[in-house]
Amino acid sequence: MIHDAHGFRNIDEINYGPEIPEEPNMNAKKFYELLQDAEIELYPGCQKVSKLAFIVRLLHLKYLNLWMLC
């Protein structure tokens, strides 16, 4: 009632029109690539470590040991 008197509308009642499918932006594309890397084997037959897990471990070692040249 109060909302009707003051012109407030429920967010669920607002019609934004039809959704137009669009391509993900560059950041979203990079994120999706990382998600795919989480499923890729590091090398054929390696099921314990994914490509993404290896990169994360390598970067962690780089940080812990203060490697600057890599």
Question: pLDDT (tens digit, 9 = 90+) per residue, 10-61?
Answer: 666 666 767 788 888 999 999 998 889 889 999 999 989 999 899 999 999 9
pLDDT at 37: 86
Task: Report H helices in 1-70.
Answer: 2-6, 26-37, 51-64
pLDDT at 58: 93
Whether 6 is covered by a domain: the verdict is no
pLDDT at 11: 66
Whether 30 is covered by a domain: the verdict is yes
For the question of whether the overall pTM of this predicted structure is more than 0.95, the answer is: no
Whether 70 is covered by a domain: the verdict is yes
Spatial separation of the C-alpha atoms in residues 55 and 69, rounded to whole Å? 16
Whether 41 is covered by a domain: the verdict is yes
Whether 1 is covered by a domain: the verdict is no
- Structural domains of the chain, count: 1
pLDDT over 80 (residue 63)? yes
Whether 32 is covered by a domain: the verdict is yes
Q: Is the dihedral of CA 22, 27, 32, 33 positive or negative?
A: positive
Domain residues for 53?
A: 25-70
Whether 50 is covered by a domain: the verdict is yes
Spatial separation of the C-alpha atoms in residues 47 and 9, rounded to whole Å? 53
